[in-house]
Structure 1
C-alpha cells in the first residue's frame, strides 16, 4: 500500500507525520510526505528514511516575516494552487491521502484526493478546528468576532463564513479548473463527518458532539532515541536541574527581550537555564556558566532532566513536557496555544502566562507556580496517564480502512475507520 501524508505548517504540523510515517512503514506501507521545503523538515524525514515532497514557501521564512493579516487570502490562494500542482503528481498510485495543517492546504490536498478517486482522511492536532457547542472557535487574524456574541453556535457560524470568505474563491477556482464541482462550505468540506483528532484524551478530552463522529487516536509521537550532546550532558550533571526555555517555531515578535526576561526570572528562582535557540533565535545574555544554549535536541531526553519547561504552548511541546512529567509555564503566542496553556493550568501541571509578552514579574510568578512541589507531583500523575501509542493506533486504523470497501461521503472517498 502507498500513503501520502500532506501538511503545511510549522514543526508541530510536520513532526506528528514523521511518527505516523514510521508506524505505517513498520506495517509494510510505502509513505511519502508533502510539507514545506524547510531544511529542518527535510532532514527530520531523511533521518527516518521518508522522502519529502516540498510544497509551498518556507514555513520558517513566512513565520519570521509576519505578513499582514490582509494578505492571508492571497497567500492561501498560492498555497492551494501549489497543493493541486504538487500533490496531484505525488499522490499518483497512492491508496490514501492523510490531510492536515492549515485549512487551505488541507482543502487542496483533499480536493486532489477527490479528483484522483483516492481515499482520504482529515486530521487535526488540536480540537479547536472542530465545530462544537462546547467551545468557541479561534478567530482568524484581522477578522475578530463581535464581542457581544457569546453563543458558541453563532460563533461557529461566523467562523464558517470567515473561512469561506478567506479561502472559498481560491479553492473553488482551482477545483473547477481541475474538473471538480465547487464546495459551498470550505470548513465542512475539510472537517467532513468523521475527522481524526490526533491528541491525547487526557490533555485534550473530546466531548461528544452531534453530527460529528470524531476518531481520537491519541497523539502521534515518534520515540526520539537521539542522545543529548556531550556538552549538554555535562552541564546537566554539573548542578541542580535547570529550567528549559524555548519557544519552538514562534518568532516571539511580541517580546524582543524574551531571553533576557526569561534568564533573569529563572535566576531569581535560584535555577540554572537551558535556552533553546528556536525560530526566535534566542541567545545567551551573558557568559555566566549557569546557562547553556542548545539547538535541535531530543525533548524526550531533555525534559525528564529539567525542573520546568517554559515554552510557547505548541501541541507537540506541551505533550512532550507532559509525557516527561515536567512542570510547565506556557507563554502562548497565537492560534491554539492559549488553549494548551489553559489545559496545563486546569490539569495542575503548570502555569498559563497571561499574554504573549512576559515580564520579569509575570514570568517569575508563573515559575513560582510551576516549581512548587505540588505541581511536580501532579505532573508525575498526569505523565503516567498519557498514552504513547497514538501513531500506531492511527497507522492500523488507516491501513485497515484502506482494505475495506468505501462508501461515498463528502465528494472524495473518505475513510471510515
Structure 2
C-alpha cells in the first residue's frame, strides 16, 4: 500500500506512551511517516523509535509528584476516585491538549489514538480522515469481566459486568463532555455529542476499529466482542542500545538474582519511608534488591542497590521476582521476563493488572499501596521467590508472550484497514479487519 502520514496520539505517563512509540516504530519500518503526540517528558522515546514527535506541554512525572497528583495517587483505584482525580488533575489542561492535538493532526492521512489521546477522534471527524483506537487495556464492553475501574476486579455476572463498562464510560464522559462539546462546536465546526455515552456511542456507531496491545495469554478475547476489536499481543519498543549502568551490571552479577522493586511514574507521598519499608521487607524475606528511586535521597547498601533508572528488558530476566505498581507497560515487561510478579497497585487500571497476574498464578495477590507494610511485602516476596509452582507458571506465561509479535500483528491490521477504504468518524461502515 502507499506510504501514509499517520499520527499516533496519546498522553499520560511513560507506560501510557512507550507502547505507542513501539507501534510507530513498526509503522515507520514499513515505510510510513509517523508522528507521536505525547507528553514532552517522553520525546526520547520517539527518538528511539525513529519517528517524529509533537510535544504536549505537560511534565507528567512532575505533575504526579505535585500536590494534586499525590492526592490522586492516594485516593485508590475505584471509579469514583479515578473520576475525582481525573477532574482535578487533567480537566484544567483539557483546552491546551485539544488545541495541541488539532495542530499535530493537521496534515495526517490517518489517526491512531489511545483512550488518553481521544481528542484526536474529534479532529479526524472534522477533517474527514480515518481514525482507529489503539489501547493497552481492555475497555470495550463485555460480559466476561467488569470494567478495570471496579474495585477488586470481582465479577458482577455477565449483565453486571457489561453494565459496569457502560457506567465507567458514562462517568468519564460526564466529566469531559462540557469541554469536548464546546471545542467541537466552537473550534471544529461539529455538532455536540449526546449526554449519554456520547464518545463511546460514536465509536460503536462508526464501528471504530479497536486494536488491543496486550496478550490474549494475559487477558483472553471475550466471545461477545465484535470482530472490529482485535487483540494483537503487546507492543514492545525495540531499543537494542539500552544497556545497564556498570554499577547495576556488577551488582546483579556478584550474587544471587535480586528482587527488583520499582513503581514507575508513581511517586509515593513519603519516598524515604517507603524505601525503609522495602529495605526491611526484602531483608526479612532474605533477598537482595534493586530499588528504583533517587540515589541522592535513598542510600544504597551492600544488599540493596538504588538506581535512578534501569532497562527492564535487560534487568527483569535476571531477577528472582519483580515488585511493581501494576502499570500496563511494566506488567507486560515483567510477565515477558518470565519471573514472578508482586503487584503493588496505586490506582486506575493497576489493580486490574494485579488481579490478572494473580489469576495467571504468576504472582501472589496484589498488595495495594495504601496497605503496604513490612509484613505484607515480606510475605508476598517470600512467596514469589520460594514457590516453585509460581515460578514455573510465570516462566510459561513469559514463553508465550515472547513468542508473539504484537507490533507486527497491529501493523498488519492497520495496513489492511487503511488499504480497504477505511471509514471515517461520523460515517458508519462495518469493518472487521478481514477476520
Instruction: Work out whether the TM-score is over 0.5.
Output: yes
Distance 1:413 1:7 in 2: 25
Could you tell me which residue of structure 2 aligns to residue 329 of structure 1?
342
State the 1:242 CA deviation.
Answer: 0.6
State the 1:233 CA deviation.
Answer: 1.0
1:272-306 superposed Cα distances (whole Å, 9 cap, x missing partner) = 111112xxx57775552111122232101101111
Q: 1:155 aligns with which of 161, 164, 170?
A: 164
State the 1:119 CA deviation.
Answer: 1.0
State the 1:401 CA deviation.
Answer: 1.8
- Secondary structure of residue in 1 paired with 2:189: coil
**How large is the RMSD of aligned CA atoms in angstroms?**
2.7
Instruction: Tell me if the contact between 1:114 and 1:413 (Cα under 8 Å) persists in the aligned partners.
Output: no
State the 1:87 CA deviation.
Answer: 2.5
| Alignment gaps of 5+ in structure 2 | 72-82
Distance 1:66 1:411 in 2: 43
Structure 1 length-normalised TM? 0.88
Alignment of 1:174-323 (within 5 A): 174-177=183-186, 178-184=188-194, 185-190=198-203, 193=207, 194-209=209-224, 213-225=228-240, 226-253=242-269, 257-277=273-293, 281=294, 286-323=299-336
Distance 1:289 1:162 in 2: 49
Distance 1:209 1:342 in 2: 22
Could you tell me which residue of structure 2 aligns to residue 352 of structure 1?
365
Q: Does residue 168 of the first structure (1) align with residue 183 of the second (2)?
A: no
- Secondary structure of residue in 2 paired with 1:366: helix
Could you tell me which residue of structure 2 aligns to residue 43 of structure 1?
44
Instruction: Tell me if the contact between 2:10 and 2:38 (Cα under 8 Å) persists in the aligned partners.
Output: yes
Could you tell me which residue of structure 2 aligns to residue 54 of structure 1?
55
Structure 2 length-normalised TM? 0.85
State the 1:157 CA deviation.
Answer: 3.8
Could you tell me which residue of structure 1 aligns to residue 33 of structure 2?
30
Distance 1:317 1:412 in 2: 36
* Deviates most, 92-101 or 248-257: 248-257
| Alignment gaps of 5+ in structure 1 | 142-146
Could you tell me which residue of structure 1 aligns to residue 78 of structure 2?
none
1:115-144 superposed Cα distances (whole Å, 9 cap, x missing partner) = 1111110121111x2222222224499xxx
How many equivalent residue pairs? 401
Could you tell me which residue of structure 2 aligns to residue 64 of structure 1?
65
Q: 1:113 aligns with which of 124, 129, 133?
A: 124
- Secondary structure of residue in 1 paired with 2:190: coil
- Secondary structure of residue in 2 paired with 1:34: strand
Distance 1:249 1:71, change over 3 A: closer
Distance 2:299 2:92 in 1: 43
